[in-house]
Amino acid sequence: MAATAGRAGGQSMMASTVLEIKGLVRAFGGLVAVNALDMTVGSGEIVGLLGPNGSGKTTALNLVSGVLRPDSGAIHFAGHDIAGMATHRIARLGLGRTFQLVRVLDGMNCAENVRAGLAFHPARLARGEMDAAAIRLLERVGLKDADQRMATELTYIDRKRLELARALALKPRLLLLDEWLAGLNPSELLIGIALIRSLKEEGLSILLVEHVMDAIRSLCDRCVVMNSGRKIAEGTPDKVLSDPAVIEAYLGAPANA
C-alpha cells in the first residue's frame, strides 16, 4: 500500500518538471563517463542518483551544475537549456549544490561563507539584509550562534552544514547533494536525514547522490541507478534496490550466484 502511494505521489509531482536531462554524454579520452543519460527531477521531489564508485554520478552532477561541459545532450532547467552554460549563470537560475569533498572557505567565518553564496541570490540584498539572511540560514541548518566562528574550527558535520547553508543562500529551486550524508555517525545521520526531509517539505527539489541505503529508502521518491556511465534502472527505492542488475552492479556478481 505504501509503495503504491509513493508511486502515485511521484507521478503527481512529475507533473511539474524542474530538471530534464536527455541523451547526456561526456567522455574523457576513451572513457565514456556519462553515456546517453536520460532522467528528470520533479517539483518537490527527491531523486536518488545511485551506482557503484566510478559509475558516472558525480560527473553527471558536474555537467548539470556547469563544472563540466557535455559532449552532447540537453539539460533543461528553469526554462533554459543549461548544457555548457557557465556555472555562475546556472547558479543564478536557482541551482545550488554541495560537493563530495566539502568545500568551505577556511579563511572566513561562517557568516562570511554564507554571504559568499548570497552574492548569487536572485534579489540584490543590501549589506544589512545579507547579514540577517546569513544568520537565518545558519540557524536553518543547525548552526545557531556560529556566525563568527571560523570555518576551520567546525566539526565535520558542521562543515557540511555550512556548505549546505551557502548552497541554500542561492534560494535554489533545485539542490544537488553529492554524498552529503557520507561519513556521519549514526546520530549525525539521523539529524542529516531530518534536515534534508525538511527541505523537501518546504518545496525544494533535490537530486541526491548517496550510498547510505537507510537514507535512500527514507528520503527518495525515485531512484536512477547508473553503472559504467549508463542508466541501468529507475523506480522507487525498493524496486531498484531489489533489481538483479543493480545488485550485480554493486556486488560484482549475479544476484543468484
pLDDT band at 2 (very low <50, low <70, confident <90, very high): very low
Measured N-to-C along each axis, helices 127-140 and 110-118 cross at an angle, to the nearest 10 degrees, of: 110
Alpha-carbon distances of 226 from 57, 60, 231, rounded to whole Å: 7, 10, 4
- pLDDT of 13 > 70? The answer is no
Q: From CA 115, how far away is CA 148, in angstroms rounded? A: 12
Superfamily of domain 2-103+172-251, CATH level 4: P-loop containing nucleotide triphosphate hydrolases (3.40.50.300)
Q: From CA 114, how far away is CA 132, in angstroms rounded? A: 11
Residue range 146-185, pLDDT digits in tens: 999 999 999 999 999 999 999 999 889 999 999 999 989 9
pLDDT band at 252 (very low <50, low <70, confident <90, very high): confident
Q: From CA 169, how far away is CA 161, in angstroms rounded? A: 12
Residue range 26-79, pLDDT digits in tens: 999 999 999 999 999 999 999 999 999 999 999 999 999 999 999 999 999 988
- Grid-cell match 539572511, residue found: 133
- In degrees, rounded to 5, the angle at the alpha carbon of residue 235 between the alpha carbons of residues 229 and 236 is 125
Q: For residues 13 and 224, which has the higher predicted lDDT (pLDDT)?
A: 224
pLDDT of amino acid 177: 96
pLDDT band at 117 (very low <50, low <70, confident <90, very high): confident
Spatial contact of 59 and 34, defined as CB atoms under 8 Å apart: yes
- pLDDT of 1 > 50? The answer is no
Residue range 224-247, pLDDT digits in tens: 999 999 999 999 999 999 999 999
- pLDDT of 11 > 60? The answer is no
Where in the chain are the domains? 2-103+172-251
Residue range 189-217, pLDDT digits in tens: 999 999 999 999 999 999 999 999 999 99
pLDDT of amino acid 119: 82
Region label for 146, one of left (φ > 0), alpha (ψ between -120 and 50) or beta (otherwise): alpha
- Nearest residue to 51 (alpha-carbon basis) of 216, 206, 175, 211: 211
